Structure 1
Amino acid sequence: MKNSRTLRYFGGLLILVFASVAHAAPKSDLWPFWNSSDEANTSQISHTNWQTLLDTYLVQDGEYTLFQYRNVSDASRKKLQNYIDTLSKLDPRTYSKAEQYAYWVNLYNAATVEIILEDYPVKSITKLGGLFSFGPWDQDVVSIAGKKLTLNDIEHRILRPIWQDPRTHYVVNCASLGCPNLLPQALTSANTEVSLESAAKAFINSEKGVSLKGKKLQLSSIYDWFAVDFGQSEQEILRHIQKYRTGGQLTDWSGKIKYDYDWSLNERR
């Protein structure tokens, strides 16, 4: 009995160690293959099918947008898969950078929903991805231009290093309550700037983004995990936040900051 308890104890520790390593925030690491475009190409990529799914299954609940995973019909699931497949058959490098940005963000979000649906019901995306994985972010999800890509590739090797815009964190969604909301509108080259600004403002003025109560300041863990994207110091991060915050000055904050994140699934219960 004692040996059994010991094995369970060390087995649990091993899992925690692997989960901790897996959860270490990836660095922005450019994949040069994807860093090209054809700015002369004025054609647009259709995201109509993704918008239809958002209109059908995404609902507003307070400061959250929640996806109704349990209600997704077989026909809608097929439409989602066809949408992802259609995007995968394109070479985004042949489009303008503006079209590419919307392409990658929508693909990331659509692929994340598909990953959840593959294993639904699930309480958290962190439960997916294998025994020693903290989530499915290093799984191959799509093949484009002969290259297999993971969600981490899309976010950390393409979106972050190529565009170097901290607001990207506000529009890619990891199917969790603590994450910036899944956008109700599919991103397009025409609405990207408005969507980025709106998403930044919504997240920063939500309790899950920034919570200031008296002398206690709590920020989303994205400002800890990806601090380098928001500034070179704590004060620069706070200045970024203050740009979008509608109440309570933070730029002269000198107290301790607590970070938190809710990994519960972003579903309508």
Structure 2
Amino acid sequence: MHLNHKQIASVLGFLLCFAAAGSDVFASGTEEPVYVPSARSINHDHAAWTKVLSRYVTVEGGTSVVDYKRLKANQRELDSYIETLQSVAGTEFREFSGDQRLAFLINAYNAFTLRLILNNYPDKMTKTETKIVDGKDQTISIRSIRNIPVSRGFSNLGASPWKDKFFKLFSDEHSLDEIEHEMIRAKFNEPRIHFAVVCASIGCPMLRPEAYVADRLKDQLEDATISFLKLRPGHRFDPQTKTLYLSSIFDWYGKDFEKTGGTVKDFVAQRMASNPDEANLIKSSDTKIKFLDYDWSLNEKK
């Protein structure tokens, strides 16, 4: 069959439009194929992920540590859950409720972060530094996600493991930054996600020993936020100096907390203050915020 120029242009235009519609998992339209559930459809209780977390994550006060050595020896448990995530097509994802989508993406971010660590643990993410201790030079080894060499996908200028497209999701290659900033922050007006997505560092919020699930998502996010503010060492309000000491997360993503109304101090006062008077002091224009240094060392069980 021979096509003239107009017919060829029409066919190409249709194919381009179809490809564009499929590239955004949040897109909607009437021409999409109907999703037919498969045998590997996601179970929204994410029980397999909870099983991994409960076995290898230990909560210690306001922080959590991961037994990466033992998890690496049993990595198939994590890989099996990730394969389930990767079996979800964009058409299926668009059928999820809002809370199901958000829970899915938070769990995916944290699961792929653990895989990134395991793929490089321990040697590829370890660097030695010389520090002065008691007046003497001392060489120490530091493990950190920031030490991981990037594999591919972009220039070494400004390279970071968060921008490295090292996994597939919805049939496309993606990075951790794309999940956090393009799929979560750009689509959900929910600042509490900053206490749910975990970057495998001591300075990060606690990695919960359970999966995030849609039917308890709001309560889980609130609990994660309060735990981070109240239990993490360093977070405090000094009424004498009128200084609020907070994680650098509130500096980096301050605008996210303002989107829900109010200021960073309003958000924190609601959850950190022990009484209404203290809440008013925290929210006062006289109160200044001091952001704490961030500990990027790996959240590994020693």
Q: Residue 44 of structure 2 contacts residue 214 of structure 2 at CA under 8 Å; is this kept in 1?
A: no
Identity, % of aligned positions:
30
- Within 5 Å, which residues of 2 pair with 1:1-269? 33-36=24-27, 44-74=43-73, 76-91=74-89, 92-121=93-122, 122=125, 123-130=143-150, 133=158, 135-208=160-233, 210-213=235-238, 214-215=240-241, 216-231=243-258, 236-247=263-274, 248-249=278-279, 250-252=282-284, 254-260=286-292, 261-269=294-302
Task: State how far apart, in whole Å, the 1-side matches of 2:59 and 2:171 are.
Answer: 38
Taking only aligned residues, the RMSD between alpha carbons, in angstroms, comes to 2.7
Q: Residue 66 of structure 1 contacts residue 266 of structure 1 at CA under 8 Å; is this kept in 2?
A: yes
Shift of 1:45: 3.1
Q: TM-score, normalised by structure 2?
A: 0.71
- In structure 2, the CA distance between the partners of 1:209 and 1:45, relative to structure 1 (3 Å rule), is farther
Task: State how far apart, in whole Å, the 1-side matches of 2:110 and 2:266 are.
Answer: 28
- In structure 2, the CA distance between the partners of 1:69 and 1:132, relative to structure 1 (3 Å rule), is farther
Task: State how far apart, in whole Å, the 1-side matches of 2:299 and 2:158 are.
Answer: 20
Task: State how far apart, in whole Å, the 2-side matches of 1:245 and 1:236 are.
Answer: 14
Q: Residue 67 of structure 1 contacts residue 268 of structure 1 at CA under 8 Å; is this kept in 2?
A: yes
Q: TM-score, normalised by structure 1?
A: 0.79
Match of 1:5?
none
Shift of 1:93: 2.0
Q: Residue 234 of structure 2 contacts residue 246 of structure 2 at CA under 8 Å; is this kept in 1?
A: yes
Shift of 1:164: 1.2
User: Residue type of the partner of 2:237?
Assistant: L
Which moves more between the two structures, 201-210 or 101-110?
201-210
Number of residue equivalences: 236
Shift of 1:101: 1.1
For the residue of structure 1 that corresponds to 2:24, the secondary structure is helix
Q: Residue 44 of structure 1 contacts residue 99 of structure 1 at CA under 8 Å; is this kept in 2?
A: no
Task: State how far apart, in whole Å, the 1-side matches of 2:200 and 2:77 are.
Answer: 19
Deviations 1:195-244 (A, max 9, x none): 01101111111345723344243211111111110117xx7110011111
- In structure 2, the CA distance between the partners of 1:209 and 1:167, relative to structure 1 (3 Å rule), is farther
Task: State how far apart, in whole Å, the 2-side matches of 1:158 and 1:265 are.
Answer: 25
Task: State how far apart, in whole Å, the 1-side matches of 2:157 and 2:234 are.
Answer: 29
Q: Residue 257 of structure 2 contacts residue 263 of structure 2 at CA under 8 Å; is this kept in 1?
A: yes
Deviations 1:152-209 (A, max 9, x none): 0000001111111001111100011111111121011112111011011111113457
Q: Give the unaligned 5+ runs of structure 2.
A: 1-22, 29-33, 126-142, 151-155
For the residue of structure 2 that corresponds to 1:268, the secondary structure is coil
